[in-house]
Copies of this chain bind each other. A is one copy, B any other.
Amino acid sequence: MSEQAEFQLEMTVRDYECDMQGIVNNGVYQNYLEHARHEFLKEIGIDFVDYTQRGINLVVIRAELDYKLPLSGGDRFKVTVKLEQESRARFAFHQQIIRLSDDRLSLKAKIVGTAMNDRGRPSIPAELDKIMSEMG
């Protein structure tokens, strides 16, 4: 995959994202991953808000998450995104969450998504097609 498709975003754990164990609740990591994907998509010309308003729904169809190391309140981390086309209508996002203090892997994920119009039919954004063909 070409280097252009790599993306990373730095974030900080907010205290309200931690649960009674004092660590980030397992569902919150999906929020981090989604936010990084959307920022990545925006950079390649796909604005989630705009697409939603135009009736094109970018949706997740499968998520695989490996939890390696829990993050705690105040931890700085980066979320990476690499895009890979799985089929005409399926895109895989390979993502990592890495704690910045010691560069250790906190979570590894593969998120598979597609795009559908309001009638539930696949509707792949031209921008995605374009970047995919450029990536060869």
Q: Which residues of A approach B to under 8 Å, CB–CB?
A: 14-16, 18-22, 25-28, 30-31, 34-35, 38, 42, 47-49, 52-53, 57, 59-67, 70, 72-74
Give the distance to chain B from A54, nearest Cβ to Cβ, in Å. 12
Let me know if B34 and A16 touch, CB within 8 A. Answer: yes
28 contacts between A and B (CB under 8 A): A14-B34, A14-B38, A15-B20, A15-B49, A16-B19, A16-B25, A16-B31, A18-B49, A19-B19, A20-B20, A20-B52, A20-B73, A21-B59, A27-B27, A27-B28, A27-B30, A27-B34, A30-B30, A42-B74, A59-B67, A59-B70, A60-B67, A61-B66, A61-B67, A62-B65, A63-B64, A63-B65, A63-B67
Q: Judge whether B67 and A62 touch: CB under 8 Å.
A: yes
Residues of B within 8 A of A49 (CB): 15, 18, 20, 22, 72-74
- Chain B residues contacting A18 (CB-CB under 8 Å) are 19-20, 49
**B26 & A38 in contact (Cβ 8 Å cutoff):** no
A26 with B30: CB separation less than 8 A: yes
Contacts of A26 in B (CB 8 A): 30, 34, 59-60, 63
Q: How many Å lie between the Cα of A42 and that of B14 in the bound state?
A: 12
